[in-house]
Chains A and B, each alone.
Chain A
Amino acid sequence: MDLILSHINYWVAIALMMIGFYALIARGNLIKTIIGLNIFQASVFLLYITFGKVSGGTAPILQKNTELYSNPLPHVLILTAIVVGVATTSLGLALVVKIYESYGTIEEDEIAKLDAQEEN
Chain B
Amino acid sequence: MSLEIYIDLILVIFLAITGIAVIYVRNLFAVAMLSGIYSLLMASIFVVLDAVDVAFTEAAVGAGISTILMLGVLAITGNREKVSNKSPILPLLIVICTGALLVYGTWDLPIFGDPNAPVHTHVAPEYIANTYKHTGMPNIVTAVLASYRGYDTLGEVGVIFTAGVGVLLLLSRRKTTNKLNQKSKSEDQS
Direct contact of A and B (CB under 8 A): yes
Task: Enumerate chain A interface residues (CB-CB to B < 8 A).
Answer: 2, 5-12, 14-23, 25-29, 31-32, 35-36, 38-39, 42, 45-46, 49-63, 68-76, 78-80, 82-91, 93-98, 100-107, 109-110, 114, 118
Interface residue tally on B, bucketed by range: 35 or more
- On chain A, the residues within 8 Å of B128 by CB distance are 60, 62, 69, 72
- On chain B, the residues within 8 Å of A16 by CB distance are 15-16, 19
Q: Is the CB of A90 within 8 A of B141?
A: no
- On chain B, the residues within 8 Å of A42 by CB distance are 38-39, 42, 58, 62
The secondary structure that dominates the B interface is helix
Nearest neighbor of A62 in chain B, beta-carbon distance: B138
- On chain B, the residues within 8 Å of A61 by CB distance are 52, 138-141
Going nearest first, the 10 A-B pairs with the smallest beta carbon separation are A55-B113, A104-B184, A87-B163, A26-B91, A6-B111, A70-B50, A72-B140, A12-B12, A62-B138, A18-B99
**CB of A101 to closest CB in B, whole Å:** 6
- If the complex has contacts A72-B140, A82-B58, are A53 and B112 also in contact, measured as CB distance less than 8 A? yes
Q: Is the CB of A22 within 8 A of B51?
A: no
Within 8 A of A (CB), among B154-183: 156, 159-160, 162-164, 166-167, 170-171, 175-178, 180-181, 183
Task: Enumerate chain B interface residues (CB-CB to A < 8 A).
Answer: 1-2, 5, 8-9, 12-13, 15-16, 19-20, 22-23, 28, 31-32, 35, 38-39, 42, 45-46, 49-54, 57-58, 61-62, 65-66, 69-70, 73-74, 76-77, 81-82, 84, 86, 88, 91-92, 94-96, 98-99, 102-103, 106, 109, 111-115, 117, 119-120, 123-124, 127-128, 131-132, 138-141, 144-145, 149, 152-153, 156, 159-160, 162-164, 166-167, 170-171, 175-178, 180-181, 183-185
